[in-house]
Amino acid sequence: MNKLRLLPKTNSSPQMISWRCTLLQSRVDADSKKVVLIWSISSGNKNELIQAVTVPAGVSVKEGVRLFIGDAEPLTMSYDICGARVCIAKAPLDDKLVGIMKASQKASASYVQMSKQLLQVNLELTGFAAPCQNQARWFLEGRIGRISGTAHPEDARWYASVVEEGPVAPGDAVTLL
């Protein structure tokens, strides 16, 4: 499920409130109906892009989360927070990785559960979602160009879908498509 959520962000003046967009992609296990991964991309306090991967608690913290985008080297993200219900790994999303995302059609994320089982969630990146008039009411004077992937990739929305879901165990063969 992909969601675009607008979050209030206060500026130095108490009367001023600006808004930032956060892209949330959640993946649910077909059998258990439980969330197995949430990938979010948002702008941080200094308008830098931040990505976070949230997984259910009960993971092997040592391995972190590995994010695979296209043919690029995998990005290993260490867990910043682990609580009773979830663990969250965060990392900057730089221009180089945004460029790789634009050129790629496939992505996946993997993490190791406490049972030593590797869980991999495959995604298909289909590119930026074009701004549409449905969002115009959320923008000053209806200026939806702010979420254009070309003009402002840091605020753009992405289309993505699960290609194939299911667990992967250590020792399983991996085939690049």
Residue 31 scores a pLDDT above 60: yes
Is 117 within the bounds of a domain?
Answer: yes
pLDDT tens readout for residues 112-137: 998 999 999 876 676 666 666 667 77
CB 3 within 8 A of CB 38: no
CATH number for the domain that contains residue 103: 2.60.40.1880
Residue 143 scores a pLDDT above 50: yes
CB 145 within 8 A of CB 87: no
90 pairs with which residues across the strands? 52
Is 91 within the bounds of a domain?
Answer: yes
Is 174 within the bounds of a domain?
Answer: no
What pLDDT was estimated at residue 124? 67
- Using the Cα atoms of residue 69, residue 38, residue 3 and residue 15 in order, give the sign of their dihedral: negative
Domains of the chain: total: 1
Is 173 within the bounds of a domain?
Answer: no
Residue 1 amino acid letter:
M
pLDDT tens readout for residues 58-87: 999 999 999 999 888 999 999 999 999 999
Is 102 within the bounds of a domain?
Answer: yes
Across 8-25, average pLDDT: 53
Full residue range of the structural domain in which residue 16 is found = 2-166
pLDDT: which is higher, 2 or 40: 40
Is 135 within the bounds of a domain?
Answer: yes
Across 22-42, average pLDDT: 82
Sheet containing strand 17-28, edge to edge, reads 2-10, 17-28, 35-43, 49-56, 86-92, 79-82
Mean pLDDT, all residues of the chain: 75
Is 115 within the bounds of a domain?
Answer: yes
Is 171 within the bounds of a domain?
Answer: no
* pTM as predicted: 0.64
